[in-house]
Structures are given as C-alpha cells and as structure tokens.
Chains A and B, each alone.
Chain A
C-alpha cells in the first residue's frame, strides 16, 4: 500500500492543479459565461427602464419564470445540506471528496435564487421597504428571513471545513502568488497551524453547524412553498406543499450535484478521488428521492382528482390533457420515472447513465416549478377566459443570465479555492491505513 505522505502529496498536487494551470479553454468558457451574463444584465436594464411590460406576465398570470427560477434555485441549494450535513451526521465517509462542491453549490444557488426575487419586483428601488416596513405576518418576509438565515449559515458551513485547506493554500501558494492573494489566504486561514486544540475546536464548530443547518434548510423551502400555499388559490391549497417543495428541492439538488461533479471531474481529472462509486451512490439517492416525489404526486393528484371539486377539473384538464400536457407528461415520465428505471438497470448504472438521469431530473424539476406557478395562476377566478402566458426575450435572457451566473461562480471558485476537502480526506485515509497496519502512522505535516 502506498504510504500516506505520497498519497497526500498527489492529492495536494491535484487540488492545486486548477489554481496553477489556466487553459485557453478556461478563458473562453469564462468569456462565454460573461457574455451571456452581460446580455442578461442588458435585458434587465431594459426591464427596469420600461417596466415589467416587457415580460409576458399580465394581471391574471402575474408570476412567471422569474419566480420559477427563484423556487428552482432555492431548491438546488439543498444539495449542500443533504450531501454534506445529513451524510456527515450519519457518518457516511464516502461523501468526503464531494462535500466541498456540494456546499459551494448551496451558496451559489442561494445567491442566484435570491437575485430572481429582486428581478421579479416591480419596484426594485424600494427593496429597502422590506426592512423598513416589514410585516411579520407576510409569507414574503418569512422568505426573506429564511433565505437570509440559510445563506448566512451555509456560507459559514462552507467556510469552516475549508479553513485547514485554506491554510494549506496559504503555505503552498504564498511564495508564488501575488501578495494580495497571499494576504487573502492568510486572513481566511485564521492562523491555522493544525494543532490538536485547533482541530478539536474545528470539529466541534463543524458538528454544531451541521446539525444547525438541517432544520434551517427544511424550513427554507417550506416557507418558499407557503408563498403559494398561503393564498386562496385552488391549485396551491394543499397541506403537503411544504413537504412537496422540500422533497423536490433535495431531488433537484442531488441531480445538480451529479452534473457539476461530472464536469469538474472530467476537466480537472479527479477520477482517482471521485469514482464511479460516488455517482452510483448519488444515483441511488436520486432514485430514492424520485420515489418520494412520485409518492407526493400521487398523494396530491389522487386525493384532489378523485373528488374533483369545482375548479379542480380545469386544473386537471390543463395539466393532463390540454395546454401543459406534453411537458407535464415529460416531467412525470422523464423527470420522475426515468431516473428510477435507469438505476434499476445495471447497464445504465454508469457515470454516463447517471448524468443523463440527472439532466432529465433537473429539466423535469424546472418544468414542475413552472407548472406550479403558472397553472395555479391561470385558473379563472371569475367568469372570464383563462389568460395565457408566454415568456418574452427579456425573460429568457435574464433566465439565461441566471444560469450563466450560477456556472460562472462555480468556475471562478475552483480557480481560487480547494475543490476537495484535502484535510478530511487525509484524516480518513490515515484512519483506514491505521486500521490495516498495527504500526503507528506518520502524521502529515
């Protein structure tokens, strides 16, 4: 068996890799993302200048893909919580190499999601009114509260386990990197010297945060669902809405993690650390959550569809038969049944197969969020013809800008921060080695 020091040296080189080499392809990709983001910002400028009239929204379908994006991205943010906190609590050590990515997706997705609420506002210039005149009875204020708390907590939860790795970056890059960068690593690493007391302190802090962050995450997507469930709309009048949203959030979060993992693994050659096993385990989790989602859908649609109260018929028709039927069936079959089916067939239980399933899940879940927002608003409240909604170029541009921002933040992150938890992986490796060989293992410097 390879000695720990050699193994660690190789891991360090792999982790430092992205910060050392910057390929032309990287610059091209960042340039592309910046271009898309810039186009989105231009579209937003048009929207602020002319008002929301440049969108496809109207008085009767007054929320559209901005709120869809908000719900979708806040959902994506549950990747970090699940993979990192829940698996950490349950002592599943296989998650160690992928926790950093998951935690970072959480922070980035939350930021992107929160931006879309502001994009949706008719008067973004009066955003401060939420602080000045905030009413604690309003679901919007619950959301501001919950998302702000979750963002704070998840930044901390990303940062704490990164401290020893930041110290490692400080030690290795201080001589070569520019003085600004060196100083930033130095400040962020908080005098980390890998002493015993520091380790105890860090372990405790992480342990507290990992337990704290789980109820926060669950509450966040519950109150997101309450934006809808607290109104008198037939389609949203559901007691399982909170659960439905949280389950969907974890579901799409895992799918996004799988996609991001696959890309980073390929680009930065992390195959030794992020193995097929990781994809298969996450694939199982994905299939399990798909099962939960299928169950939630059955609960929701069978209980209301069996009775078919006044108004429900319209909702059912537009989803299952009329306007939204093709995409809704795509969501049910491609987004929910397909991932389960793929995981049952051994032939597809590969990295490629699981990534395909994850892409289907993300597309399906985006559509599901869209249906929740738009079909709920479309049902007529008084005797009038149902309104229609079609997003305009402004909305699509800002949406594309949102996705570009999400990708850009991840792309830049890997350039400056360790993408894997080097110290945790080393700790676990040394435990494994210690269990195998009775002789004491050399402590890594």
Chain B
C-alpha cells in the first residue's frame, strides 16, 4: 500500500516538473507567439462583443477615442472578456507550439550526428602559424601547398580557399605572407548571429557548420571579421566522386548548394591521429597543431609546449581587439628563417586539381 502511494507521489512529481519545464521553455521560446495569439484573441473577443452588442439599440452619444482610453482602460477588459481571451489564446497557442514539432516530423532533415569525444579530458584544439617559416611557397615556385592540400583533402568547391594565404604589408619595406584558416573563435560572432544554430561551437573549441540545417541567410558571413566563410552560390563545383560520399559535417562532403562552408580544423583527422592536410603539406613545417589542454603542439617534425612557444616568440592573434578570442596564433615574421626576401612580392594563384566536375555544377568568382 505505502509503496503505491509513494509511486503516485513520484509520478505526480515527474508530471508536475515536466509540465513546469514545458511551460518555462514555452514561455522563453515563444513570447512573440503568445503576443500574436493575444492580439488575435482580442480580435475574436472583440468580434464576439460586437455580436452581442448588435441587439442593443442604445444611441447615446459617445466620447472621443482618446478620452475613452484614459478613462476606461481599466474597465475595458472585464472578467468574462479576460477569461475568454485567455481561453482563446490558449487554444491558438497550442497549434502554434505544436507546429514546429509537426513540421520537424514532416520535413525535418537528418541531423548529422556530432561525435563527442569519449575521453575524460576534452581536447582544446589550437593552431600556431610560424610566419618566420612561411614564404608563400615562393621558393618552390608553387601556389601555397597548404591551400592546395586542403582543397584536395576536403574536395572544396572552386573558388573556396578555406586556408587562404594573404600578402600583408610590413611596417618597413616589403611584405609578409599570412596563411589564414578559420580562426575558430571562442567568442564566435558567426555562431552568435546564426538564426538556426547551423553553425555552432563544439566542446573542443571548434566552430563547425551543419550544411543540412543552414538556410543560407549569410548573416554569419556579414558577422565574420576574418572573411573566412564561403557560400555555395550555385551547384558546388566539386569532382564527381564527391557526390558519392555520405554527408558528414566534420568533413563537409558533399558540399551543398545554397549553404555556407569554411575550414573545419579537421577534427576527424586529429581523432584518427594525423595532422590536418594543410600542416602535412607545408614544405617549411610552418604550421603547428595541438591541444591547449595538454599544452602540446606539433608541426610533424618538432613537438613544442604551446604556452612556452607562444610566450618565447611574442605570438599574436588576428584582430585581438575585437574580443573574438581566436584559437589560431601567429608567430611574427616574414619567412626570414627559410631565407625569403621580403622585397619579393606575389604568390602564385591557387588551382583546383580535378579535371572533371560533377554534373550540373557551376563555378563563380570570389
């Protein structure tokens, strides 16, 4: 007997707290739906009161509208009208709340399952780019190898350069090269503005995009202060084999028309124990990848302590003053360690390696 009573109590507790949670979520998420419902409820309530008043033949002269507001605002809504409005808005509110769920059942796409690391310690992925060792691949007379490898590895649509090598003026004479991947901000402006959480931060500090959810509004591109987001303006120009892959948001293949893409920091590769394409391809070993949590990074040749490496070489981040807190650090330089002459400017343009494009695809210019 007592057991049953206790069970009932627990059940009631579960039901009540569930109801409270639903009510709280509904309140937070749908204030405007409530508001619209109230307006419509007021209209219906008003229609009802007009019908009732239709029988009345009172012809007494009426005061002006503004006067009425001041004088009668309190008495406009009597108890019955109020109850009716609440009831009607509840009736209208239900379908409004149910609509998203129904829509999701009907049209909702498959959400790419993001694989969470099982390890107790959560990695904090970081990139360090040693500009002293970057010569824009001038010495090997090639377009930047990091960009090419990234394109080949990700089958990135033309003309997207997820890691793009810019050439910046030095304070004195000459230039330096600036390989620029997505900065993987810890206060990411793109994530903050996305209306549908298609772009999001992971516990490992990466900013990823779900191309199955993106609606293509492009506010993230307006928000990104690093020009690191790319849009599939048409059917993405990729090689035919890219279409055969099962979609995975961690590798962003196959690319989808009308959605945004960018550097993903290759979480699948580091999980498999290899360095990202750009790092593997760099002929001067200028890029390091590592884990802030373990304080260790590697360019494939050396292993460094991240904190000491950054401090010893006066590392900086791009547009630090914006407060975006990027996960990409730069060691200042202009290729001096690999013998680059800063007066020699220009790098070769990027080429997309595949000879055949998937059917129906189009290329555009940046």
Contacts and interface: CB of A to CB of B under 8 A. Distances in A.
A53 B178 contact: no
Interface residues of B, number: 81
A62 B58 CA distance: 62
Interface of B: 28-29, 32, 35-36, 39-40, 42-43, 46-47, 49-51, 53-54, 56-60, 62, 64-66, 68-69, 72-73, 76, 99-100, 103-104, 107-109, 166-169, 178, 180, 189, 192-198, 213-219, 221-227, 229-235, 257-259, 322, 324, 362, 364-366
B227 A198 contact: no
B278 to A, nearest CB: 17
B29 A129 contact: no
A130 B227 contact: no
A63 B193 CA distance: 15
Interface in A238-292: none
A205 B49 CA distance: 11
Nearest to A128: B103
A38 B198 CA distance: 34
Interface residues of A, number: 81
Contacts of B231: 52, 59, 62, 122
Given A59-B366, A231-B193, A122 B216 contact: yes
A211 B226 CA distance: 44
Interface stretch (A15-23, A147-155, A358-366): A147-155
18 contacts: A50-B235, A51-B258, A123-B214, A132-B100, A132-B104, A132-B108, A140-B219, A149-B35, A193-B54, A197-B56, A204-B72, A228-B222, A232-B223, A233-B225, A382-B226, A382-B227, A383-B167, A383-B178
Secondary structure type dominating chain A contacts: helix
Contact of B234 (A52, A198, A206): A52
Contacts of A121: 215-217, 258
A196 B60 contact: yes
Interface in A374-398: 377, 380-384, 387
Nearest to A381: B227
Nearest to A143: B195
A206 B65 contact: yes
Q: Which 6 A-B residue pairings sit nearest by Cβ, starting from the closest?
A: A122-B216, A122-B258, A53-B234, A140-B195, A196-B58, A197-B53
Nearest to A216: B35
Given A121-B217, A152-B36, A139 B104 contact: no
Given A60-B366, A201-B50, A384-B227, A133 B218 contact: no
Contact of B213 (A50, A133, A136, A381): A133
B166 A383 contact: yes
A120 to B, nearest CB: 7
B193 A53 contact: no
Given A59-B366, A192-B54, 4 more contacts: A135-B197, A141-B195, A144-B195, A382-B227
A156 B196 CA distance: 30
B234 A122 contact: no
Contacts of B366: 58-60, 387
Contact of B59 (A50, A51, A443): A443
Given A122-B259, A138-B195, A59 B57 contact: no
Contact of A195 (B57, B109, B258, B365): B57
A132 to B, nearest CB: 5
B66 A91 contact: yes
A326 interface: no
B221 A62 contact: yes
A55 B365 CA distance: 12
Contacts of A298: none
Contacts of A198: 50, 53-54, 56
Given A122-B216, A203-B62, A231 B222 contact: yes
A195 B35 contact: no
B37 to A, nearest CB: 9
A203 B65 CA distance: 5
B216 A89 contact: no
Nearest to B318: A382
A117 B46 CA distance: 33
Given A121-B216, A383-B167, A232 B322 contact: yes
Nearest to B211: A123
Contacts of A163: 50
A156 to B, nearest CB: 6
A142 B79 CA distance: 33
Contacts of B32: 145-146, 148-149
A139 B54 contact: no
B68 to A, nearest CB: 5
A178 interface: no
Contacts of A136: 28-29
Contacts of B258: 51-52, 121-123
Contacts of B40: 152, 156
Interface string A49-71: 01111110111101100000000
Nearest to B70: A207
